[in-house]
Amino acid sequence: MIIAIDGPAASGKGTIAKRLAAHYGLRHLDSGLLYRGVAKAVIEGGRDPADRDAAVAAARAFEPGRYPASALKGDDVAKAASQVAAIPQVREALIAFQRSFARTRPGAVIDGRDIGTVIAPDADVKIFVTATPEERARRRLLELQGRGEAADEAAVLADILARDARDTGRAVAPLRQAPDAHLLDTTHLAIDPAVRAAIDIVEAVRAGRKPA
C-alpha cells in the first residue's frame, strides 16, 4: 500500500505520516528532508540557495542520510529548501529515489507537497492535511520554543505565509490538493484525533466507502 500525505508547513502531515506508517507497518519517508538536505549541501558549500547551478549539482549528488534529520530542522534550512525546491531540475533529480522508496515492499507513507500529484499519482490513499496559517504558526512557535530557540509569533507567521506562497505559486509541482485526495483539516484537532481521522480515511478508502 502507498499512502500520499501532502500539505503546507506545520499542518501536522509529518506526525500523521509517521504514525500511519507505524500503524500499518509501512516505511515512512519525509520528502521535505530531501529538499532540506540539498539546501544544506548548497549552504555548506558556501553558495546561495537561489544559485541554480549549485542547487542542481547538489541535487544530482544527493545521498540520503548524509545529514542527520536534527541538522536539517532549522527554519533557515526550511527557507532555503523552499528555494531549491522551486527549481525543476532539482525536483527531477529527486524523483527516482522517492518513486523507488514508494515501490519497495511492503509499501510506504510519504509526506510532502507533491506526493499525490507527481511522485505517486497512483497512491492507494491520498490525504491533504491542512490547518489555518495562524494555527500552524502557533504550532511552529511552540516547536521552536521547545527547542530553546527564540522566536516571535508575527515573524513565524510571516515565514509560514511566505513559504506557502512560494510552494503554491511555483510553476513546477506546486503545493495543491490532488482531485482524488481526502481533505483533513487539523485546525481544531490535537495530534491523536488527527491521526485517528487519518486512519478512518484509510479504512474507508480500503473498504470502498466514501470517507466521512
| Binding stretches for ligand CDP (CB under 6 A) | 9-10, 14, 31-32, 35-36, 78, 81-82, 85, 112-114, 163, 167
Taking the complex as a whole, the smallest distance from the CB of residue 35 to ligand CDP amounts, in Å, to: 4
Which of 22, 94, 102, 84 has the alpha carbon at shortest distance from 48? 84
Nearer to ligand CDP, 112 or 141 (CB): 112
Nearer to ligand CDP, 10 or 201 (CB): 10
Q: In what order do the strands lie in the sheet with 2-6?
A: 27-30, 108-112, 2-6, 125-130, 182-185
Peptide bond preceding 106 in cis form (omega within 30 of 0): yes
Distance CA 176, CA 23 (A): 26
Distance CA 59, CA 87 (A): 10
Taking the complex as a whole, the smallest distance from the CB of residue 197 to ligand CDP amounts, in Å, to: 19
Taking the complex as a whole, the smallest distance from the CB of residue 199 to ligand CDP amounts, in Å, to: 21
Residue nearest to ligand CDP (CB): 32
Nearer to ligand CDP, 131 or 197 (CB): 131
What's the grid cell of residue 2? 502507498
Nearer to ligand CDP, 126 or 163 (CB): 163
